A and B are shown apart, each in its own frame.
Chain A
Amino acid sequence: MTGSTTSSGADLLTSPQDWLREQPGLANRQVFRHALARLADVEPRIVLLEADLAGGGDPFAARHPGRFFNLGICEAAMLDIACGMAATGHVVFAHTFAPFGAMRACEQVRLGLAYARANVKLVCDYGGLSGAFFGPTHHAIEDLAILRAMPGMTVVSPADGLETIQATRALLEMEGPVYLRLGRNRVTRLEVARPAFALGRAMCLREGGDVGIIAHGEVGVSVALDVATRLEAQGVSARVVNLHTLKPFDEEAILETAERTRLLVTVEEHSILGGLGGAVCESVATHGVGRRVVRAGIQDRYDSTAGTHEALLQRHGLEASALVESILNALPRPRLAAMAPGARRG
């Protein structure tokens, strides 16, 4: 692992942007580890549980060894144990890879975290296809659909390093179970003005009137911003909404975006079934908003082809150029119709 909290000049808590600038190579999932280690300096109730996937040099383990428990390869027991510890007043962070946290131990999450409302924060990296070469055993394309269906869960998918820090802080300030979803590889530092972070409140990163692009996560939001820039070059303006919290779901932001634009697009590193794409369709259809929704995401298949993360994403159409084309094909054309009514089809 590169980077450390202690050798850095800037303080992660008070100057997160400066701290991130001093850690240019740190993937978001490592940013989380530093954020948690720093927060644990000031919050003694935090404990961190691992199931043999902490990796080397974890800053939390180094700084707070008495509150760090590597339990061994036993995700199911880890999450039951997390709920037990939380019941004695600790704020329990439990980490593993997304396929194991969300699916191998799914029923522990349902019973202990969701139903029993434990103050446990389940932090899973390897979201989406980010496990790439390791294959579908280590991919998680279904996790958000599963977690989103559990009553009482808070489901968060940060877009970059800064949002990972902000989300980690926010989780501490709320009581209750959380699924925090991270990737594996990305070092994202979005250079975009953004409103203050608040759990459950979508943030508009860019205004536009033609297309409403709603995205989450390390891949989704970056692709969405890239798509918006490319569309602008073609005379199409896009509103970009970062929906970092999938649950509670900011339906108001979705409906507002639907009303202000002519086409909705969802972008996420998750199956096109049941994640953000599914959630937006549910909202739009429920409220009778007549908007078509283009769902960019992972196609409904397990992809057992080796290759880089980027190549996998491309195969599923999760990259800007392919998405721009789909959007232009799907976009209704009222302006052209207004200018030259005779040119309008059918």
Chain B
Amino acid sequence: MVQVLLEERARRIRRTILRLAATSVGCHLGGSLSMVELLVVLLGRVMKFRPEEPRWEERDSLILSKGHAAAGLYAALAEFGFFDTEELVQRYNADGSPFTGHVNAAVPGVEFPTGSLGHGVGLGVGLAMGYRLRQRSNRVFVVCGDGEMGEGSNWEALQIAAQHRLSGLTVLVDRNGGQNDGPTEAILSQASLVERLRAFGLKTFEVDGHDLDALGRALEEPSEEPRAIVARTQKGAGVPMFRGKGPHYATFNADQLRRALASLGEVTP
């Protein structure tokens, strides 16, 4: 029963992402759609948080290291009650609004401004170390892109996570296989990502990143070590017309939005 609800949430989040792609500025579409199940499982099944009190001391933290997928995170935060979806769609890129194209910590539910890549793991390690020092058990989740794993600072921080055995930390890699300039494998291959994470000392899972149950199990399995989840995903997932190869960035016109929503299974006016 819960599963169905989460699937419905994922569909609604995708609908919002497509609507954001149809604004004048568009959005990082492919990488927003690819991580929807990751966010749905985290926010809908695993994480403790209070949308009405975003800075609640007991909350678990979500850091979107791939901060260019702002549309995806904003849409998910709206779905889980941090703010209203219509407000998001109305104010996305409006003058004076906090909804910038890379995630902005002025938006409720966003812990850190990111999108300059290679910061999220370090920030997450810092949160995990800080919580441990305060003898708190808040969990910390960092969502990275696979292209982003080219950033050396991520690997600096992963070494430290392992050295300090930060079991409260989970790094999820949205392995959608694409980055700004093309296929990740053609540019800087991440084929050995799982082996490397394992060799760095992280308890590493490789799962279908669109399988809510598989993601949930990987996130809930007890671990004494920091955890990495390599989530195999598709850019543009959930919108069949993209055939798993959605655009990295898109600005839709009204007709494109109509077709995309139809492909998602929406009946539009």
Contact = CB atoms under 8 A, between A and B. Distances in A.
Interface string A73-87: 010111111111111
A295 B30 CA distance: 53
Interface stretch (B16-24, B32-40, B70-78, B127-135): B127-135
A77 B160 contact: yes
A81 B105 contact: no
A66 B111 CA distance: 26
A77 B130 contact: no
A140 B122 CA distance: 25
Q: Is the interface of A mostly helix, strand, loop or mixed?
A: helix
Q: What are the 10 closest A-B residue pairs judged by CB atoms, nearest first?
A: A84-B126, A80-B122, A88-B130, A77-B156, A81-B126, A74-B156, A85-B130, A84-B127, A76-B153, A77-B157
A116 B113 contact: yes
Contacts of A74: 153, 156-157, 159-160
Interface string A100-135: 000000011001100110000000000000000000
B189 interface: no
B112 interface: yes
Given A72-B159, A72-B163, A83-B123, A111 B113 contact: yes
Nearest to A76: B153
Interface of B: 105, 111-114, 116, 118-119, 121-131, 133-134, 136, 152-153, 156-157, 159-160, 163
Given A71-B160, A107-B116, A115-B113, A47 B125 contact: no
A89 interface: yes
Contacts of A108: 119, 122, 153
Nearest to A110: B116
Contacts, number: 98
Contacts of A80: 119, 121-123, 125-126, 153, 157
B87 to A, nearest CB: 24
A69 interface: yes
Contact of A84 (B105, B123, B134, B153): B123
A89 B134 contact: yes
Q: Is the interface of B mostly helix, strand, loop or mixed?
A: helix
Contacts of B157: 74, 77, 80-81
Given A80-B123, A116-B113, A72 B160 contact: yes
A44 to B, nearest CB: 10
A87 B160 contact: no
A87 B113 contact: no
Contacts of B129: 69, 81, 84-85
Contacts of B136: 88
Given A77-B160, A87-B111, A88-B131, A82 B153 contact: no
A90 interface: yes
Contacts of B112: 83-84, 87, 112, 116
Given A85-B133, A111-B113, 12 more contacts: A74-B153, A74-B160, A77-B157, A78-B122, A79-B122, A80-B122, A81-B123, A81-B126, A84-B128, A84-B129, A85-B129, A108-B122
A114 to B, nearest CB: 11
A230 interface: no
A138 interface: no
A87 B127 contact: yes
A82 B127 CA distance: 9
A112 B123 contact: yes
B133 A67 contact: yes
Given A87-B111, A90-B130, A77 B125 contact: yes
A111 B117 CA distance: 11
A255 to B, nearest CB: 34
Contacts of B123: 80-81, 83-84, 87, 112
B132 to A, nearest CB: 9
Interface string A22-55: 0000000000000000000000000100000000
B130 A112 contact: no
Contacts of A77: 121-122, 125, 153, 156-157, 160
